[in-house]
Structure 1
């Protein structure tokens, strides 16, 4: 009698749901980055993908338990559904973790008076300033012992190197005038944030303030704006330090002062040194009997 071993239906559905959840989560990211779909539609599609991935995760766990008990086939399908569902749910788990670590804000600034070119005044933060300062301690105003035009050039170079989309570029006309750069930053999920950087003259040097705000209303930016300000200002600190170091190393060194010459006193008498004695051996004594006879 032939025993028929069947394939678990739970394993089959786990693999099917997980295979459907992967493109359902990836395609909206591509469309959102290309600005084909709105952010609200992107959030809705990602929520559907998370639900489908959750169903695949549950189905795969049930399939693994039933396969262990019944001995049916489908281990590969069950494990495949488990792995694919976890990959699809990993960004969601990461977002929940980041949301718990950082305050619920979508607008972070070193100076609240710094205006944005695109956003209409920014958004009201959901936390107090103390919570924002505790979460991002390095997001503070910078002061440098360089002129405003020189610091502005360093800021513009960093913005260009980081690939931000510049929307406003206002260079300082003179040493005492201010400059500002506004740019749009697109995250890897397609969210768009606006960044404003102001370079002003202060105390014989330059002062830099920065603001980063989300263009799309949301409950939290997952710490993206505060982290962006901290990382950019740290990079600007390193760039200014390099300029100061190069200016110090490239400065011409002062010639060494000649050694002081001793003044001659006319009353001093110069005593000549004794002539060294002749080092040649003395001639032989003619009455020396031990001397060799002459040739």
Structure 2
């Protein structure tokens, strides 16, 4: 007589849940990134994926415990359910850690936001009210998010800013390039995060022919929590700008001197 070895139903459901969670999470992120679904629908879909992934892990753990004593089949299915569910839960663990590290903020700036408006200005029905830090909170959480002043002309400083924005791959939506030393240079650029959230950066450069003042703003357009992305983005960008200006002034000591029209004529040859 042939002995029939059963397959654990817990293992079967663990594999099924894991097989549903992965495509649900991936497709949700892809559609949100491509702006094919709204942010509200994305949140519902991604939270559903997280719930299904948690069920896969739970069912897999229960299956392993029962298989150890029953001798039934289903080890591979239980383990696969745990692996697939665990992979889907990793982003939730990552963002959960960021939520514990950073407060729920969506708009950070080094100075008054009035002169640095967004291309997609808050106030529309589809954009939540921005959440901001006080100056004291910003100094503690993001101490390097502060106005920069450089001994370099406004025009060359803005050129460095634009070059850094391009190298970071940000999509420039508005550009006001300074022509002379007293003009104001400003650009707005949009960033799409991996999960598909839209964030906007504003960089404003003022000053003279020999000095430049740089302010920066970074804001989330359709999120309730930026998980620290806006503050870290400003910190990283200004650090890059500090290094670029320092390198330029080190390699070109006279780069901060304005060009004199009287010096346009070529100098006489040396004897």
In structure 2, stretches of 5+ residues that fail to align are: 124-128, 256-271
**Residue 119 of structure 1 pairs with residue 120 of structure 2:** yes
Q: Larger RCO: Structure 1 or Structure 2 (Cα < 8 Å, ≥ 6 residues apart)?
A: 2
| CA distance in 1: counterparts of 2:85 and 2:181, whole angstroms | 58
Counterpart position of 2:226? 221
Structure 1 residue 125, shift from structure 2 partner: 2.3
Q: 1:239 matched to which residue of 2?
A: 244
Please give the residue correspondences for 1:192-271 in structure 2 after superposition, counting only pairs within 5 Å.
192-201=198-207, 204-218=210-224, 220-248=225-253
The CA distance in 2 between the partners of 1:237 and 1:83, in whole Å, is 44
Distance change >3 Å, CA 79–CA 249, structure 1 → 2? farther
CA–CA separation in structure 2 for the residues paired with 1:29 and 1:179: 35
Displacement of 1:202 in angstroms is: 6.1
Contact 2:174 2:187 in 1 (8 A): yes
Query: Which one has a bigger Cα radius of gyration?
Result: 1
| SS of aligned partner of 2:252 | helix
Structure 2 counterpart SS, 1:232: helix
Matches within 5 A, 1:37-56: 37-56=37-56
Once residues 248 and 132 of structure 2 are traced to their aligned partners in structure 1, the CA distance between those partners, rounded to angstroms, is 39
Query: 1:15 corresponds to which residue?
Result: 15
Deviation at 1:17, TM superposition (A): 0.7
Decide whether aligned partners of structure 1 residues 203 and 121 sit closer, same or farther in structure 2, where only a CA change above 3 A counts: farther
| 8 A contact 1:152–1:199 mirrored in 2 | yes
Does the Cα contact within 8 Å between 1:103 and 1:132 map onto a contact in 2? no
Match of 1:77 in 2: 77
Moved more, 35-44 or 12-21: 35-44
Q: Relative to structure 1, is the Cα distance of residues 248 and 129 closer, same or farther in structure 2, using a 3 angstrom cutoff?
A: closer
TM-score normalised by L of structure 2: 0.87
The structure-2 alpha-carbon separation of the partners of 1:127 and 1:169, relative to structure 1 and needing over 3 Å to count, comes to closer
Mind listing any 5+ residue stretches in structure 1 that lack a counterpart? 251-295
Deviation at 1:116, TM superposition (A): 2.0
Counterpart Cα distance in 2 of 1:135 and 1:90: 25
